[in-house]
Amino acid sequence: MYTIVFLGSLIGNSVVVRVIQELNKMIKRPITYYLITNLALAELLGTSCMLFFRAYVELRSWPFGDVMCRILNAMLVMSYAVVPATLAAIAILRYRLIVSRPIPPSSEKRTFLLMAALWGVGMGICLPSFLTATVVQSPLDEETYWCIELFPGDTLEDFPSQKLKRFFLVRFMLNFACPGIIMVAAYGALACKLRLRVSTRMRCDKCKTNLRPLTTTSVIYLSLCDHERHLLVQVQEHRNSPTPPISMIVVTSPSSEALEHAGSSSKSTDTAPEQNSMERDLLRMIYAIIVIYLVCYLPYQIFFLLEYFKAVTPRWRYFDVTREYLYLITCFPSALHPLCYGTMCPFYAMAFSRLILCKKTR
């Protein structure tokens, strides 16, 4: 099972990282796709640690030395930090894009700074693990070695110490609790706003259907119809004016520069339905990713805290099998996320087919 998960994660996330080059052929490159690539990179980092820790579990001893103990612990913690931080950043981005003010087109510099900030947060969280991880000899067997985290002055007799327990609790809050709260709050508020937008759109559509045919119109002012991002042009009748009628009264653009007279068309209106469809597919995919994250990651982290706070002990009959399967479940998201990309988002589905079937882009 671990082999299947490892190969699925390695191949799937590698393809996702490769797919980002396909965005160079698009007119607009949404920052969300770069964040998804960042998510794939973080999961690849965690996947690279999987085989080492799996060997550790099977051998019941750490055979890779003190340096690898520090590096691999830090890499795994960084992966656990960057994945939820990226999902939280996507949640905030979607909230601002749909509910709050429009986000300006992302530049390469802004995208690079955001991704660097996410990895900087991960490095800050994993640094203590790099400093405290060490290899110690088991008191039960002279040939058995453990890779664990110990603060200066701590010993195996008082492991885990109160300082280490507080450290694990703070790390859990930073890695999982805070990003989880951000995601739930952002998407909860987003759901409420979308429900409000549906009713607002119905009112706007009713207003447009009630407009009578006009012989002549003149623009009085422009007003933004709630959160609909449509400009509604208020008109006034002049029955006796010889001026020909103006047929366009509603402009689907948030700027006054988009207003045009009858007979002219906007290029953006042709691509709007396609962009909206892509946004809906992307949003559904993000929802699936977050559900997978919450279901697969949190149970093991909670069990980990219960173990270190002595709420659950190895004397429990199902301790080993529970920890084994909960850890296996934490490996699933790395393999399931690429499946979500390829099955729920047409952009990734087409890109996957090009790369896997070696098709050239026309």
Domains of the chain, each with CATH number or no CATH: 1-201+280-357 (1.20.1070.10)
Gap between the Cα atoms of 355 and 45, Å rounded: 22
| Backbone angle region of 234, left / alpha / beta, with phi > 0 → left and psi within -120 to 50 → alpha | beta
Tens of pLDDT along 310-344? 888 888 888 888 988 888 888 888 888 888 877 77
DSSP-assigned letter for residue 263: T
| pLDDT given for residue 228 in this prediction | 38
pLDDT at 164 over 60: yes
| φ, ψ (nearest 5 deg) of residue 141 | -150, 130
Task: Give the best-scoring range by mean pLDDT among 188-192, 225-229, 242-246, 269-273.
Answer: 188-192
Calculate the alpha carbon distances from 183 to 36, 110, 266, 329 in Å: 15, 22, 36, 21
Nearest to 133 by CA among 174, 78, 85, 182: 78
Gap between the Cα atoms of 67 and 65, Å rounded: 6
| pLDDT given for residue 211 in this prediction | 54
Q: Which two tokens stand for residue 116?
A: 């660097």
Confidence at 235, pLDDT banded by 50, 70, 90: very low
Gap between the Cα atoms of 45 and 79, Å rounded: 6
Gap between the Cα atoms of 156 and 147, Å rounded: 12
Length of the chain: 362
pLDDT at 271 over 80: no
Beta carbons within 8 Å of 198's beta carbon, 6+ residues apart: none
Confidence at 101, pLDDT banded by 50, 70, 90: low
pLDDT at 233 over 90: no
Beta carbons within 8 Å of 77's beta carbon, 6+ residues apart: 122, 125, 126, 129, 171, 175
Tens of pLDDT along 178-191? 998 998 888 888 77
Query: Angle at Cα 38 formed by Cα 74 and Cα 326, nearest 5°?
Result: 55
| pLDDT given for residue 351 in this prediction | 73
| Backbone angle region of 35, left / alpha / beta, with phi > 0 → left and psi within -120 to 50 → alpha | alpha
Q: Roughly how many angstroms between the first and final C-alpha of the chain, as a whole number? A: 39
Q: Which two tokens stand for residue 101?
A: 């003010």
Asked if residues 39 and 183 have their Cβ atoms less than 8 Å apart, the reply is no
Gap between the Cα atoms of 90 and 39, Å rounded: 10
Gap between the Cα atoms of 164 and 177, Å rounded: 18
Answer whether 0.75 is exceeded by the pTM: no
The lowest-confidence range among 18-22, 97-101, 303-307 is 97-101
Section 2-21 average pLDDT = 83
| pLDDT given for residue 231 in this prediction | 38
pLDDT at 113 over 50: yes
Which residues are 145's β-sheet partners? 137
Section 37-50 average pLDDT = 91
Beta carbons within 8 Å of 101's beta carbon, 6+ residues apart: none
Gap between the Cα atoms of 36 and 23, Å rounded: 13
Query: Angle at Cα 324 formed by Cα 309 and Cα 78, nearest 5°?
Result: 70
